[in-house]
């Protein structure tokens, strides 16, 4: 199951389609009824998270956190959380020449791939991750 929440104080984005691309990127197995939380936020919030968990005091476009076996007070299990800065996404659309929704979809996939163990620390890892992103986004409406 995928939950999406936009906590950005000013920026709105159409959430339709984000859940679908998230479900497409998630593994068909290994979710075991657990929840993926997608949180759309701003640079201030994601900078605080980035500093708290990585020691980097700057905004980033996406952060992913796995939650193996964690439970909500409602007894539902969390699989992971993906935080996306809509501010960073809005800046990146200029570089990638895409619309905001398309960039946010890419970041959703990117964040989920991190939860699945993909990374981009080396050129080869980045290439593999980007190919997987492109594969998952292929045919997606903008």
Classify residue 142: in a domain, yes or no: no
Q: Which domain holds residue 98?
A: 2-137
Domain of 22: which CATH number? 3.40.390.30
Mode of pairing for the β-strands spanning 2-6 and 62-71: unpaired
Domain count, the chain: 1
The per-residue pLDDT for 30 is 61
Residue 43 lies in a domain: yes
Residue 90 forms part of a structural domain: yes
Write down the pTM of the prediction: 0.89
Phi (first) and psi of residue 67, to 5 degrees: -130, 75
- The token duo for 54 is 């990585």
Q: How far apart are CA 44 and CA 95, in angstroms?
A: 22
- Rounded to whole angstroms, how far apart are CA atoms 95 and 92? 5
- Model confidence pLDDT, tens digit, residues 28-50: 766 677 889 999 999 999 999 99
pLDDT (tens digit per residue) in 99-108: 999 999 999 9
In a domain, 29, yes or no: yes
Query: Is residue 56 in a domain?
Result: yes
């Amino acid at each position: 199951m995928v939950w999406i929440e936009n906590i950005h104080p000013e920026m709105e984005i159409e959430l339709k389609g984000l859940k679908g691309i998230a479900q497409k990127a998630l593994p068909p197995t290994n979710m075991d009824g657990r929840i993926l939380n997608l949180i759309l936020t701003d640079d201030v919030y994601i900078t605080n998270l980035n500093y708290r968990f990585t020691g980097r005091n700057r905004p980033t476009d996406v952060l992913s956190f796995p939650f193996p076996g964690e439970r909500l007070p409602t007894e539902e299990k969390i699989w992971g959380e993906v935080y996306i800065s809509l501010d960073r996404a809005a800046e990146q659309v200029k570089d990638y020449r895409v619309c905001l929704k398309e960039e946010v979809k890419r970041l959703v996939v990117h964040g989920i791939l991190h939860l699945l163990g993909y990374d981009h620390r080396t050129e080869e890892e980045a290439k593999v991750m980007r190919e997987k992103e492109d594969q998952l986004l292929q045919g997606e409406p903008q």
